[in-house]
Amino acid sequence: MTLPLAVDWPTVASLATAGGTLVLAVATFSSVRSGQRSTRIAERSTAIAERALLVGLRPVLAPSRVTDPPELVRFGEGRMVSVEGGLAAVEREGESYYFVIPLRNVGNGLAVLQAWRFMARRPELNASHAEPTEHRRQSRDLYVPAGDTGFWQGAIRDPDDPFREGLDTAFLAGGVLTVDLLYGDHEGGQLTISRFILTCEEDGRWRPGVVRHWPLEGTDPRVRDDAR
């Protein structure tokens, strides 16, 4: 006759408790992972929505079209400069130079021009922009509405102006001039530097072209994710 085995109830209870704890731990881990995944998805969705909103309000400046109306620009000392759409003005009076670039805002947000930087030469291939602090502040804000036209104006008057280096030679020879414009939205955000090249045509008229846009806030579209 086989005697029944004695049941070790304390051991059974310990095993049951351990099993229950394990199941609870697995459930908790799965819940935490699911919660973390949901949080990441929500954060990414929020970031995408915020970026889409900013892109929808970002100003982007380019030269005006030849069909756009001419701009008549007044400088501080009273000098008036007129320039047709699709062209630029580079004028000299005595030792002073005056520059005007008619602009079109091809973005969706108001552009406020803040500062500029000038070089009397063509920039080196793939040369980046200078720091914003190295740009010269506009004496007044210049506004270009979204989908509309406006202008940039600048002047070099001081014989010792560092922007004057090589300017006399470039002007007389009809060389290439470079203008970097620093601008943003009406709240001072979405800062961007756009590089414009001014080329003197055979007829003596200056024609502008934009060759680069650098967004200073956010991701540069020319840098791939796998290269960052």
Sheet holding 176-184, edge to edge: 136-144, 111-119, 176-184, 192-200, 206-215
Give CA–CA dist 184/193, Å, rounded.
Answer: 9
- pLDDT above 80 (res 226): no
**pTM as predicted:** 0.74
* Type and span of the H or E element at 15: helix 9-57
pLDDT at 126: 85
From residue 77, alpha-carbon distances to 61, 81, 93, 98 in Å are 27, 12, 12, 11
Task: Calculate what percentage of the chain has a pLDDT beyond 90.
Answer: 65
Token reading at 149? 């036209």
Instruction: Please state the rounded mean pLDDT for residues 87-111.
Output: 97
Cα(99)–Cα(119) distance, integer angstroms = 12
Higher pLDDT, 188 or 101: 101
pLDDT digits (tens, 9 = 90+) for 26-79: 666 666 666 666 555 544 544 444 444 455 579 999 999 999 999 999 999 999
Q: What pLDDT score does 49 carry?
A: 41
Do 184 and 58 contact (CB within 8 A), yes or no?
no
% of the chain exceeding 70 in pLDDT: 71
114 or 20, greater pLDDT = 114
Q: What's the mean pLDDT when you consider all of the chain?
A: 84
Residue 227: pLDDT band (50, 70, 90) is very low
pLDDT of res. 222: 57
Q: Kindly report which listed range (22-31, 166-175, 193-202) carries the lowest average pLDDT score.
A: 22-31
pLDDT for res 47? 41
pLDDT bucket at 188, cuts 50 / 70 / 90:
confident
